[in-house]
Amino acid sequence: MMKNLKFRAYDPENGMIYQSRLIKFHISGNGMWIVSDHAGKVPAGCGTGKIMQFTGLKDRNGKEIYGGDILKNQEMIYIVYFDLGAFLVKMKLYPENRIELMQIYKYAEIIGNIFENSELLGDSNENNKNG
């Protein structure tokens, strides 16, 4: 069974996350554009917006988990990211330790994301935004 891909986008200029049912890429002679049902036509690669992909998984409360989300399981905090063809999590306290999201998602809950809730990450925030 094939599932549709879902995305959301963070716009740092207004501090908003947009949930979108439609995100397309349009390439023309004057550049590449992201076209969404919320933001209209926006230049791609402008360095401001961040696109987050749905992992296909939900946390213990039934909320959809996206790349860039911050999860908590007991006292451990994790950051969700995509690498090597899979969604992984790294621990806030031990960022060198990376595990598959599949191993923890049923027990964890979303407490924020790296763009709107950077205070949850403390000093390691810049490293976490880059995966």
Q: Does some domain include residue 21?
A: yes
User: Is 102 among the domain residues?
Assistant: yes
**For residue 112, is it within any domain?**
yes
- Domain assignment present for residue 99? The answer is yes
* Arithmetic mean of pLDDT over the chain: 80
Give the CATH number of the domain where residue 35 resides: 2.30.30.290
Q: How many domains does the chain have?
A: 1
The identity of residue 99, as a single letter, is I
Beta strands in 1-131 (DSSP E): 7-11, 16-20, 23-28, 31-36, 40-43, 50-58, 64-66, 69-73, 76-83, 86-91, 98-100, 109-113
Give the per-residue pLDDT at 89: 97
- Whether residue 1 is contained in a domain is answered as no
Q: Examine residue 2 and state whether it is found in any structural domain, yes or no.
A: no
Residue 120: inside a domain, yes or no?
yes
* Domain of 23, in residue numbers: 7-129
Q: Using 50, 70 and 90 to split pLDDT, how confident is the model at 1?
A: very low
pTM to 2 decimal places: 0.76
* 127 three-state secondary structure: helix
